Amino acid sequence: MKTLRLILGDQLNVSHSWLDQVDDDHIYLMAEMRQETDYVKHHIQKVVGFFQSMRNFSNTLQDEGHHVEYFKIGDQNNPQNLPDLIEQAISNHKIEKFEYQLPDEYRLDQQLQEICESTSIPSEAFDTEHFYTNRDELENHFEGKKQLLMESFYRMMRKKHDILMENDQPEGGKWNFDQSNRKKWDGSPSIPKELSFDTDVTELLEEIKSAKINTFGNIDSKNFPWPTSHQECKELLDFFCSRLLVCFGDYQDALHTQEKFLFHSRLSFAMNSKMLSPKEVIDTVVDFYHEHRDDIDISQVEGFIRQILGWREYMRGVYWKEMPDYAKLNKLENHNPLPDFFWTGKTKMNCLHQAISQSLDDAYAHHIQRLMIIGNYALLTQVDPAEVDAWYLGVYIDAIEWVEITNTRGMSQFADGGLVATKPYVSSANYINKMGNYCKECSYSHTVRSGENSCPFNSLYWNFLEEKKAHFKNNQRMSMMMSLLEKKSKEELNEIQERAHKIIEHSDEF
């Protein structure tokens, strides 16, 4: 039976069972589409990264003997959207059956269901064979429970997949070593220079420019740093194990002006494009740890495993449980516009300048930069979560909606009212100073709470608690801060709020 198999740009799994057999009956369809470049404004490195990886994947399939029909962004006969692309392929190749792998974005899932309903030939959906969980596993795990506690889900996953376990107990005697993962990096130990693949993407970049795709951010066309094949992704994974894992856990929350990547793996793009599977990553890391127990503490490894086996799978489960309504949640009723400096990095607040400029330069920032610098500021200034979503989805090379929106609208912006996070992740300048050196080179004083020289985070923090206190009156995790808020004099609070409102109304002047 002549069968058309669709492979999307984030389904680059060379180990998928579809590819076990080579024959003339299956045609693999791949396309670089305006549908995908235009639904949100993307960083240029994100567009290049996915297109280059797709092309490499297509070449691998063709080298193995598979029949691939591939459309580049500038091809004249590229329909540029899924319905027309599939209809054209079915007609041209006299297709008798259409198959696709379940997409990881709700909008694509709906679109493909509609396409299948409208076509006259049989269709079938397959699993991507990537995640540890299926779409419904988290919902089933929490059935009948009021809160979706990640820690509960994480422990279940450790037990189910026998990862860092000794019989039925966690290896090392603890489930979670988070308290050990909060060190400030002060220049020691030394950090190896990041592994960069320095691919020349000049030709691809010209194709994207010729297609007049609207992007933002910076790129070095001669030295594209990200991995764009399974082999390069494996090299990055091996580099992480041999050079970075030994200190990863200790400094995973650290911030520093001279070290953008610290000990982070930068494997998120490799995994979210499915060039690397989470199982391959976890098995490699755990095996390396067991071979080097004398050199690597379990706290380094557990912190990494928790991000992938716990947080990544958890966020995907929340996404499929709560969509499509989740994309509209705005429980704190925030409606302010995103400041212009999110697109330029031009602000006197050094922490934001560093984190946003890095995002624009590298299409990457680690989780504390995203959560406690950029996201913290957006929440404290009460930016509309839809605008925050769009920025995060566009700026980061690893951002795909299933993982972006749950982290942004949920954990970062608390727009879901506490479904993902039990409290809003907000802080004054004290936390930022505690975790890094951003405050040392800033125009503002992190120790001053109000006045022209004060760090904007300080007045914004207390103003946020005051203006949103009705939302937190029954939140036990916020009780101490709300108690401290109540102790502030009316005069001090007025001064704080006056400063905060000025910052919110004139963000691009600070």
Q: How far apart are CA 55 and CA 43, in angstroms?
A: 19
Q: Kindly state whether residues 74 and 110 are assigned to the same domain.
A: yes
Q: How far apart are CA 194 and CA 243, in angstroms?
A: 10
Q: Kindly state whether residues 11 and 37 are assigned to the same domain.
A: yes
User: Which residues touch 440 (CB under 8 Å, ≥6 apart)?
Assistant: none
Residue at a domain's end among 66, 97, 126: 126
- The DSSP code sequence of 371-438 is IIIIIHHHHHTTB-HHHHHHHHHHH-TT--HHHHHIIIIIIIT-TTSSSS-SS-----HHHHHHHBSG
pLDDT of residue 147: 85
Cα 136 to Cα 36, 317, 326, 413, 421: the distances in Å are 26, 7, 16, 25, 20
CB 29 within 8 A of CB 67: no
Q: Kindly state whether residues 437 and 377 are assigned to the same domain.
A: yes
Q: How far apart are CA 319 and CA 335, in angstroms?
A: 23
Which of 267, 282, 309, 318 is closest to 175 using CA atoms? 309
Residue at a domain's end among 322, 354, 381: 322
Q: Does residue 503 form part of some domain?
A: yes
pLDDT of residue 77: 97
CATH of the domain at 52: 3.40.50.620
Q: Kindly state whether residues 299 and 354 are assigned to the same domain.
A: no
pLDDT of residue 451: 86
Q: Does residue 328 form part of some domain?
A: no
Q: Does residue 131 form part of some domain?
A: no
Q: Is 402 exposed, middle or buried (0-12, 13-18, 19+ CB in 10 A)?
A: buried
Residue at a domain's end among 322, 349, 380: 322
Domain range for residue 28? 3-126
CB 154 within 8 A of CB 314: yes
The token duo for 44 is: 């240029």
Which of 427, 440, 436, 377 is closest to 255 using CA atoms? 436
Residue-wise pLDDT for 42-56, tens only, equals 999 999 999 999 999
Q: Does residue 313 form part of some domain?
A: yes
Q: Kindly state whether residues 459 and 347 are assigned to the same domain.
A: yes
Strands (E), 196-314: 215-216
DSSP helix/strand/coil, 43: strand
Q: Is 19 exposed, middle or buried (0-12, 13-18, 19+ CB in 10 A)?
A: middle
User: Which residues touch 411 (CB under 8 Å, ≥6 apart)?
Assistant: 371, 420, 421, 425
Q: How far apart are CA 54 and CA 59, in angstroms?
A: 9
pLDDT of residue 418: 92
The token duo for 129 is: 């064979």
- The DSSP code sequence of 118-133 is H-SS-EEEE--S-SSS
Q: Does residue 132 form part of some domain?
A: no
Q: Does residue 465 form part of some domain?
A: yes
CATH of the domain at 491: 1.10.579.10
CB 231 within 8 A of CB 195: no
Q: How far apart are CA 221 and CA 44, in angstroms?
A: 10
Q: How far apart are CA 54 and CA 275, in angstroms?
A: 10
CB 147 within 8 A of CB 422: yes
What total number of domains does the chain contain? 3
| Furthest C-alpha separation in the chain | 78
Phi-psi region of 173 (alpha: psi -120 to 50; beta: other; left: phi over 0): left
- The DSSP code sequence of 443-507 is SSBTT--SSTTB-HHHHHHHHHHHHTHHHHTT-GGGHHHHHHHHTS-HHHHHHHHHHHHHHHHTG
The token duo for 474 is: 């029954």
Q: Kindly state whether residues 399 and 312 are assigned to the same domain.
A: no
Q: Kindly state whether residues 306 and 346 are assigned to the same domain.
A: no
Phi-psi region of 59 (alpha: psi -120 to 50; beta: other; left: phi over 0): alpha
User: Which residues touch 130 (CB under 8 Å, ≥6 apart)?
Assistant: 13, 274, 277, 278
Q: Kindly state whether residues 145 and 117 are assigned to the same domain.
A: no
Q: Kindly state whether residues 308 and 376 are assigned to the same domain.
A: no
Q: Kindly state whether residues 111 and 24 are assigned to the same domain.
A: yes
Q: Kindly state whether residues 392 and 245 are assigned to the same domain.
A: no
First to last CA, the chain: 64
CB 74 within 8 A of CB 33: no
pLDDT of residue 145: 86
pLDDT of residue 449: 83
Residue-wise pLDDT for 267-282, tens only, equals 999 999 999 999 999 9
Q: Does residue 330 form part of some domain?
A: no
Q: Does residue 331 form part of some domain?
A: no
CATH of the domain at 304: 1.25.40.80
Q: Kindly state whether residues 292 and 172 are assigned to the same domain.
A: yes
Pick out the chain residues at pLDDT < 50: none
Cα 353 to Cα 257, 350, 481, 510: the distances in Å are 10, 5, 28, 11
